[in-house]
Amino acid sequence: MSYFDAASAAPLHPVARQALQASLDEGWADPARLYREGRRARLLLDAAREAAADAVGCRPDELAFTTSGTLAVHSGIEGALAGRRRVGSHLIVSAVEHSSVLHSADVHEASGGAVTQVQVDRAGRVSPSSYAAALRPDTALACLQSANHEVGTEQPVAEVAQMCREAGVPLLVDAAQSLGWGRVEGDWSLLTASAHKWGGPSGVGLLVVRKGVRFAPQGPADERESGRAAGFENIPAIVAAAASLRAVRAEAAGEAARLRELTERIRARVPALVPDVEVVGDPVRRLPGIVTFSCLYVDGETLLHELDRTGFSVSSGSSCTSSTLTPSHVLKAMGVLSEGNVRVSLPPGTPEEDVDRFLSVLPGAVSGVREKLGAPETATKTPASVDSLVVNALGRRCPIPVIELAKVIGDVPVGGTVRVLSDDEAARLDIPAWCEMRGQEYVGEEAADHGSAYVVRRLS
C-alpha cells in the first residue's frame, strides 16, 4: 500500500518513535514540582521547547505547546483579538485558510466582530496588495497561511507581514504545512503549527506569540505554558514532536529536491495520460510534495475508492467526498474544477517506483469511473438545428450535471445555448470550469423555480 496523504498526517518519523519511547520513562512526572522526578520532566520539557523554538526561529519563552494545531489556531486568534480589543474588532483572513482559521472567523463575526476575506487568484495565491487594501484603522489581527493544505501553493508571507507591521497590525501565520520544510520568513507576530504534519505524534501543537504582541489568553486562567494552553503537558509527545522536527529539518533540503522532482513528474504526465484533467495550484511557488488535479466527468469518492483498491491512499477536495455535498472552499475560492479532485501529498522517503506505479494505474481508474457514470467519449457531436436546449439535472449530484452538458453541447449550433438546471452547489463552480477547459462560453447563472439555470454558449 502506498500512502500518498502526508498533507493530512505524515507517518510517524523513526526519530519521533525513539524519542517517544525513551521519554515515557523519564517524562511522566509533573514538571512544575521540585522533586527529582519533576525536575527530570522539566528538563525534558525545556529541552524540547528550546529545540522547537530554534526550528521556528523564536525565543523559547515565546513558544507554548498545545494539544493540537487547531487549538493553537483558535487560542492564537482569540488571544490576539482580545489583546487588541481597544484598537478594534476587524479580522482579516484569506479565502483559502484552513477550516480552523475560518471557523474562528465565523465565531468572531457571530459575536459582533468584522471579518474581511481576501480572495486569491486561480493558482490559490493572495496578492500582498489585496491584504494592504483590506487593512483598516480598526484592524486587530490578520491571518495568512504559509502554504495551502489542499493545493500546496505558498503564500507571500514576508511581503504581507511587512505591510501589516507598517500598519501596526499583528500577523498570525498558520505554518502547519510548511514548518517541516523550513522557517517561515518575514516579520510575523504569531505562528501556529501541528506536529503530526511533519511526522511527530498527533496531539501536539505549537503557538508562538512574539514579545511585544498584545495577547490576552481566553478561558479560565491556567499557570501552565505561560497561561496560553491549559492542562497537564504531554511531555513524551512534546519531546517526540521536537525531536522529529529537528530530524526532518536536517533532511529537508535533499528530500525537498527529490519530492519536487516526483511531483513535477506527476504534474507533467497526468494531463498527458488522462484526458480532460486540470492540474491546480501554483506550478512554481508550492510545497515540494503536494500535487493536486481534477478530472472532468468523475465522481471523486468513487475514484478515491478505486485508487484505494489498487493500493494508493490519496485525498480529495471534491464535493463528492463531503457529507455536505459542497465543493472544497479552497477550490471554490480559486475558481477551478472541483469534481474528480485528487490530492497527492508524498511523505518523505516515497520511492520513485511508487509514483511510477501510480501513474500507470491512474488512467484505468479514471476511465473505469467515467464509464460507470456514462461520461461522453468526445466533447461534441454533429451540430443540429436546435438553437437552445435545456438539461434537467435537478436532484443529480456532481459530476452528472457536467456530464449531461457535455453530451448535448454538440446538439446546438455554434452560437446556440444550453441551460443546465441544477440544485447542486458544485455546479456553480464546475460548469464554468468545464467551459474554460472545453473552450465554450459560460454566459452566467439565472434564477429558476428549483435550483439555478447555468447558461452555456457553444463557441466551437
What is the SS3 string spanning 264-307? HHHHHHHHHHCCCEEEECCCCCECCCEEEEEECCCCHHHHHHHH
Q: Looking at the predicted structure, is the pLDDT value of residue 10 above 70?
A: yes
Active-site residues, by number, are 320
**pLDDT tens digits, 382-394:** 444 567 889 999 9
Do 418 and 317 form a contact (C-beta atoms < 8 A)?
no
What confidence tier does 49 reach under pLDDT thresholds 50, 70, 90? very high
**pLDDT tens digits, 325-366:** 577 899 999 999 988 999 999 999 999 999 999 999 999 999
Q: Who contacts 88 (Cβ-Cβ below 8 Å, separation ≥6)?
A: 114, 136, 137, 138, 139, 140
pLDDT (0 to 100) of residue 154: 98
Question: Of 362, 406, 417, which is closest to residue 381 (Cα–Cα)?
Answer: 406
Say how far apart CA 83 and CA 228 lie, in whole Å: 13
Say how far apart CA 102 and CA 171 lie, in whole Å: 15
DSSP class of residue 96 equals T
Say how far apart CA 228 and CA 72 lie, in whole Å: 9
**pLDDT tens digits, 111-136:** 999 999 999 999 999 999 999 999 99
Q: Looking at the predicted structure, is the pLDDT value of residue 95 above 70?
A: yes
Residues 365-387, mean pLDDT to the nearest whole number: 72
